[in-house]
Amino acid sequence: MNGASQEPSIIESVARRARVASRAMLSVSSSEKDAALSAMREQLSKSKDRILEANVADISAAKARLAEGKISASLVKRLELGGAKFDGVLTGIASVRSLGDPVGECSLSRQIDDGLQLYRVACPIGVICVIFEARPEAAVQIASLAVKSANAVILKGGKEAEKSNAALVEAIRAGLKSVNFPEDAVQLVATREEVRELLDQSKCIDLIIPRGSNALVKYITNNTRIPVMGHADGICSVYVDETASPSKAANIVVDAKAQYPAVCNAAETMLVHRSALNTVLPVVGAALAEAGVELRADAASKAVLDSVKGLKVVDVSAVDYDTEFLELILAVKVVDSVDEAIAHINEHGSGHTDCIITEDEGAARRFLGMVDSAGVYHNASTRFADGFRLGFGAEVGVSTHRTHARGPVGLEGLMIYKYKLLGNGHTVKPYVDGDKVLKHKDTPDQLPPL
Amino acid sequence: MNGASQEPSIIESVARRARVASRAMLSVSSSEKDAALSAMREQLSKSKDRILEANVADISAAKARLAEGKISASLVKRLELGGAKFDGVLTGIASVRSLGDPVGECSLSRQIDDGLQLYRVACPIGVICVIFEARPEAAVQIASLAVKSANAVILKGGKEAEKSNAALVEAIRAGLKSVNFPEDAVQLVATREEVRELLDQSKCIDLIIPRGSNALVKYITNNTRIPVMGHADGICSVYVDETASPSKAANIVVDAKAQYPAVCNAAETMLVHRSALNTVLPVVGAALAEAGVELRADAASKAVLDSVKGLKVVDVSAVDYDTEFLELILAVKVVDSVDEAIAHINEHGSGHTDCIITEDEGAARRFLGMVDSAGVYHNASTRFADGFRLGFGAEVGVSTHRTHARGPVGLEGLMIYKYKLLGNGHTVKPYVDGDKVLKHKDTPDQLPPL
């Protein structure tokens, strides 16, 4: 599209400025990054009135669209930045600031030969593009992680939060500027049309993190050659084994399905061992009835569940086992063994998080080993699959990919490494000619002097 | 193309079988993998005559094409499997066997709350597709790494080595089968037409590693949404700083350029600090003249280099600084500072490996910190950028990407991790409601019991 013009487009300029900022950030110290985070926080606090004014404008526009039936009430709710939420945003920056500096961590130190020393040292990936919908506080959280990890970030927010995001990023950049931190470390692009052009900036963008609907993630994965980190579906399963404790099963299934059904780590399928049909399933069914969950059950489980008082049960159809309901609906299937449960999950799951409820350690071991998902849980709710709950301090997203980072991704997922090799005039020729031999001695206590 | 048919194509079947094998390998033990590697080695040794017969057939066909001028003499040479090379192939398997098992390594152990324990445990990526040209011994090396890491691999070899690859993989699979290891852990596809279809198997292939020409790597990156690990260009630079030792500079530049110019870690550009023009450059120039290197120099360096006896020097053109020559040609440019050298490398290099020659630690520190490449070397030849030389035991390739793995990639690059969470009926509700608080206490000595 830009072939005829020599002038870079707005998006090209944004991407190039991000690359320049990312290069400049290669020399910032830990204390400069922490000062930048403090300045961001201070500036956001000072700009609170202006930000909330912008947020109110977004919310009224969204309410008008809600009245027209164009967006959902939950989307309007997620836009809100006022009250305790704003304080939470500020606290979040302090919490990222308090994390250890991930840059410079040395994960390998090896003597290659006398006077020739190798180090593998953590460094930022470079330029990250995060595409997110609604939830304007995500802009602040991601910007904090970017600054802490010395990555430049291009934020592409949703249309509904346009004014809120603009006010937040304006304050963030003012904060960065006030302490002479590269302000292009955080940039915002807003309109929907720009996504396509962002996906073409493979020279200046190193990683795209989409946070949003399935449709968004799939569109992005299919339309860029930049690496993508994220997840499309979140089809999590809970398997109730033959030795499952009925009370643990009831508690965990209800928590995994009903505690907050609209999220990717909520359960969508319950697998039940045939031997647990008459012992455990009625207890779980009663708890699900109380939680208002509708079950879509196969014949064997329906025969049992139909007699649970107040429980809505309908016949399952094949597509239900591949569906992320994101509401109070749970597909149910009976299996004859832990291996059948494993096979079902590996075939129909999305590699996000799956749980076995059992008192049998052998079955748990097999399930945890053979289920090919980012999270494999024993007697614990799938809802724990979250960077904050697992203690990563902050989260850029959950990855169901099998490279780079998997599961809930915190600061570590924004890092890569470089190899530093320090010599004294070393050449490969004597080793190739066989005059000298490489030593390859690990020296874990030695840190890079340069 | 297969929309109308329900029958899977050959490539789809290969990919699905690889996925099945990768799932089966989730339960193999270290000793089973080592036994499989020993059996591979034994079977290759037994099949030596048949393999070398196939290799001779490939070589004669290649010589005929060489006579027609269709392929290069070096390609013919790279096909050869006989003599010491065959023994090297067998030794290579033993060397991979002797590496530590990368599966199951625990990189995080954390108490989330009483009775709720998190572990991050290394596991295979799943299904890897390696596309390689010529060099049939690569098939054995990659198969060994796949077995050791419990990944299934689909090998796509070059047409010239078709018979050799088929004989090698037949023996490998027979070896795996003899010890009841999933033989589909290693599969071979041969014809050029199949590459395109492999690139579409995103459901069953998790990572593509292209090892070959720039054109091949670029084609693959542009035509798949499967993650790709590798490098296109290898434009490595050596920067001769103002305090460079003339003898170190001469040795390193000659080694980096001329020891083996046809490889990605050979230097293509020499940057020289203006203050070193009359002190260091003439010494380096004389050494390059002796090594038969042609220089493409800017005006300032040419003025000096023109008086070096026996040195061929021509005027550089802008494109030379973006060219991977892969022969005895070196682009030369004069810079006024280490920062100008860094800026040139970050703009024109390919992020592979770059070297500074200096006796000034401050300059070295700045170069190593600010050059945004996988390898940043001080007073050491770029030719060290190689998995074997750096002690990784084996190499699947060199990555210039900025995610997952960077630089020379050994076994670690074939691994990812899963999170195991072991509870006792834990749900998130009490933590969300504020009735309980998460502990997040790292327990580095604790290993996963399941």
- B103 and B415 in contact (C-beta within 8 Å)? yes
Count the neighbouring beta carbons within 10 Å of the beta carbon of residue A409: 24
**A424 is a domain residue:** no
Please report residues of A whose CB lies closer than 8 A to that of B428: 255, 259, 381, 383-384, 389
Number of domains in chain B: 2
Smallest Cβ–Cβ distance between B428 and the set A118, A373, A384 belongs to A384
Alpha helices in B309-428 (DSSP H): 338-348, 361-370
Task: State ipTM.
Answer: 0.93
Q: Are residues B194 and B70 in the same domain?
A: yes
| Helix A30-46 × helix A137-149 angle, to 10° | 160
**A206 is a domain residue:** yes
The strand ranges marked E within B179-328 are: 186-189, 207-211, 236-240, 267-273, 294-297, 312-315
- B280 and B304 in contact (C-beta within 8 Å)? no
Q: Which of B222, B249, B266 is the last residue of a domain?
A: B222
Report the pLDDT value the prediction gives residue A3, as an integer from 0 to 100. Answer: 45
- B352 and B385 in contact (C-beta within 8 Å)? yes
Tell me how far the alpha carbon of residue A294 is from its chain's centroid: 28
Q: How confident is the model over A125-137, as a mean pLDDT?
A: 91
Q: Are residues B211 and B323 in the same domain?
A: no
Burial A371-406 (b: 16+ CB within 10 A, else e): bbbbbbbbbbbbbbbbbbbbbbbbbbbbbbbbbbbb
**B244 is a domain residue:** yes
The pLDDT tens digits for A95-110 are 999 999 999 999 999 9
The pLDDT tens digits for A233-261 are 889 999 999 999 999 999 999 999 999 99
Q: CA A351, A356, A361, A362: dihedral to nearest 10 degrees? A: -60
pLDDT of B288 over the 90 cut: yes
Q: In angstroms, rounded to a whole number, what is the distance separating the alpha carbons of residues A67 and A56?
A: 16
Q: In angstroms, rounded to a whole number, what is the distance separating the alpha carbons of residues A384 and A422?
A: 44
The strand ranges marked E within A257-320 are: 267-273, 294-297, 312-315
Q: Are residues A152 and A264 in the same domain?
A: no
Q: In angstroms, rounded to a whole number, what is the distance separating the alpha carbons of residues B390 and B55?
A: 31
Q: How confident is the model over A45-73, as a mean pLDDT?
A: 95
Count the neighbouring beta carbons within 10 Å of the beta carbon of residue B227: 22
Burial B143-180 (b: 16+ CB within 10 A, else e): bbbbbbbbbbbbbbbbebbbbbbbbbbbbbbbbbeebe
B219 touches chain A (CB under 8 A): no
B369 touches chain A (CB under 8 A): yes
Q: Are residues A27 and A55 in the same domain?
A: yes
DSSP string across B132-175: E-S-THHHHHHHHHHHHHT-EEEEE--GGGHHHHHHHHHHHHHH
Helix (H) or strand (E) holding B420: strand B415-426
Sign of CA pseudo-dihedral B126, B127, B133, B137:
positive
Smallest Cβ–Cβ distance between B402 and the set A118, A416, A429 belongs to A416
The two structure tokens encoding residue B25:
């390998």
Q: What length does chain A have? A: 450
Q: How confident is the model over A292-302, as a mean pLDDT?
A: 98
- B206 and B228 in contact (C-beta within 8 Å)? no
Q: What angle do CA B420, B422, B423 make, to 5 degrees?
A: 150
Report the pLDDT value the prediction gives residue B2, as an integer from 0 to 100. Answer: 42
Q: Are residues B278 and B345 in the same domain?
A: yes
**B430 is a domain residue:** no
Q: Which of A196, A222, A248 is the last residue of a domain?
A: A222
| Cβ <8 Å between A376 and B419 | yes
Q: In angstroms, rounded to a whole number, what is the distance separating the alpha carbons of residues A239 and A101?
A: 39
Residue A180 backbone class (left: φ over 0; alpha: ψ -120 to 50; beta: rest): left
What residues 423-442 of chain B have any CB closer than 8 A to a CB of chain A? 423-429, 431-432, 438, 440
Lowest mean pLDDT among A181-190, A230-239, B298-307: A230-239
Smallest Cβ–Cβ distance between A404 and the set B375, B404, B408 belongs to B404
Count the neighbouring beta carbons within 10 Å of the beta carbon of residue A350: 22
A383 touches chain B (CB under 8 A): yes
Q: Which of B49, B11, B39, B30 is nearest to B102 (CA)?
A: B30
The β-bridge partners of B132 are: B211
Smallest Cβ–Cβ distance between B450 and the set A378, A403, A417 belongs to A378
Q: Are residues A25 and A168 in the same domain?
A: yes
Q: Are residues B182 and B33 in the same domain?
A: yes
| Cβ <8 Å between B427 and A110 | no
In this structure, which amino acid lies at residue A10?
I
Q: Which of B122, B115, B104, B109 is nearest to B422 (CA)?
A: B115
Residue B186: give its domain's CATH number.
Answer: 3.40.605.10
Confidence of residue A2 (pLDDT cuts 50, 70, 90): very low
Range of the domain at A355: 236-384
Q: CA A83, A171, A206, A194: dihedral to nearest 10 degrees? A: 90
**B156 is a domain residue:** yes
| Cβ <8 Å between B421 and A373 | no
What DSSP character marks residue A228? B
Main-chain dihedrals φ then ψ at residue A278, nearest 5 degrees? -95, -10
* Residue bearing the bigger pLDDT, A392 or A29: A29
- A231 and A304 in contact (C-beta within 8 Å)? no
Q: In angstroms, rounded to a whole number, what is the distance separating the alpha carbons of residues A375 and B304?
A: 63
Report the pLDDT value the prediction gives residue B193, as an integer from 0 to 100. Answer: 67
* Residue bearing the bigger pLDDT, A282 or A9: A282
| Cβ <8 Å between A110 and B391 | yes
Q: Are residues A186 and A58 in the same domain?
A: yes
**A443 is a domain residue:** no
Report the pLDDT value the prediction gives residue B87, as an integer from 0 to 100. Answer: 94
Q: Which of A449, A328, A434, A427 is nearest to A112 (CA)?
A: A427
Q: In angstroms, rounded to a whole number, what is the distance separating the alpha carbons of residues A73 and A52?
A: 19
pLDDT of B125 over the 70 cut: yes
**A274 is a domain residue:** yes
Question: Is the full-model pTM beyond 0.90?
Answer: yes
Q: Are residues B95 and B179 in the same domain?
A: yes
Chain B: closest CA distance from residue A144 (Å): 20
Tell me how far the alpha carbon of residue A108 is from its chain's centroid: 27
**A416 is a domain residue:** no
Report the pLDDT value the prediction gives residue B225, as an integer from 0 to 100. Answer: 86
- B217 and B231 in contact (C-beta within 8 Å)? yes
CA-based radius of gyration for chain A: 25
- Taking CB atoms within 8 Å and a gap of at least 24, the contacts of B342-346 are B342/B366, B342/B367, B342/B370, B342/B371, B344/B237, B344/B269, B344/B271, B345/B237, B345/B239, B345/B271, B345/B371, B345/B373, B346/A23, B346/B370, B346/B371, B346/B372
B247 touches chain A (CB under 8 A): yes
Residue B332: give its domain's CATH number.
Answer: 3.40.309.10
| Cβ <8 Å between A375 and B419 | yes
Query: CA separation (Å) from B26 to A296, B148, B176, B411?
Result: 31, 12, 16, 16
Tell me the three state secondary structure of residue A209.
strand
Chain B: closest CA distance from residue A61 (Å): 31
CB contact set of B319 (below 8 Å; sequence gap of 6+): none
Q: Are residues A165 and A243 in the same domain?
A: no
The pLDDT tens digits for A318-372 are 999 999 999 999 999 999 999 999 999 999 999 999 999 999 999 999 999 999 9
In this structure, which amino acid lies at residue A151?
N
- B161 and B172 in contact (C-beta within 8 Å)? no
Chain A: closest CA distance from residue B209 (Å): 12
Q: Which of A187, A222, A257 is the last residue of a domain?
A: A222
Q: How confident is the model over B150-160, as a mean pLDDT?
A: 94
Confidence of residue A396 (pLDDT cuts 50, 70, 90): confident
Q: Which of A102, A94, A58, A64 is nearest to A78 (CA)?
A: A58
Q: Which of A87, A78, A79, A43 is nearest to A186 (CA)?
A: A43
Give the residue from B383, B418, B440 with the most A CB atoms within 10 Å of its CB, the best one to mutate. B418
Chain B: closest CA distance from residue A117 (Å): 10
Report the pLDDT value the prediction gives residue B5, as an integer from 0 to 100. Answer: 53
Q: How confident is the model over A128-153, as a mean pLDDT?
A: 93
What DSSP character marks residue B122? E
What DSSP character marks residue A76? H
Q: Are residues B19 and B88 in the same domain?
A: yes
Report the pLDDT value the prediction gives residue A5, as an integer from 0 to 100. Answer: 53
Main-chain dihedrals φ then ψ at residue A33, nearest 5 degrees? -65, -40
pLDDT of A395 over the 50 cut: yes
Q: In angstroms, rounded to a whole number, what is the distance separating the alpha carbons of residues A315 and A298?
A: 6
pLDDT of B275 over the 50 cut: yes
Strands A329-335 and A267-273: parallel
Q: Are residues B211 and B337 in the same domain?
A: no
pLDDT of B183 over the 80 cut: yes
The β-bridge partners of A313 are: A295
In this structure, which amino acid lies at residue A134?
A
Q: How confident is the model over B17-26, as a mean pLDDT?
A: 96
Chain B: closest CA distance from residue A92 (Å): 17
In this structure, which amino acid lies at residue A249?
A
pLDDT of B119 over the 70 cut: yes
Q: What length does chain B have? A: 450
Average pLDDT, chain A: 94
Average pLDDT, chain B: 94
Count the neighbouring beta carbons within 10 Å of the beta carbon of residue B310: 10
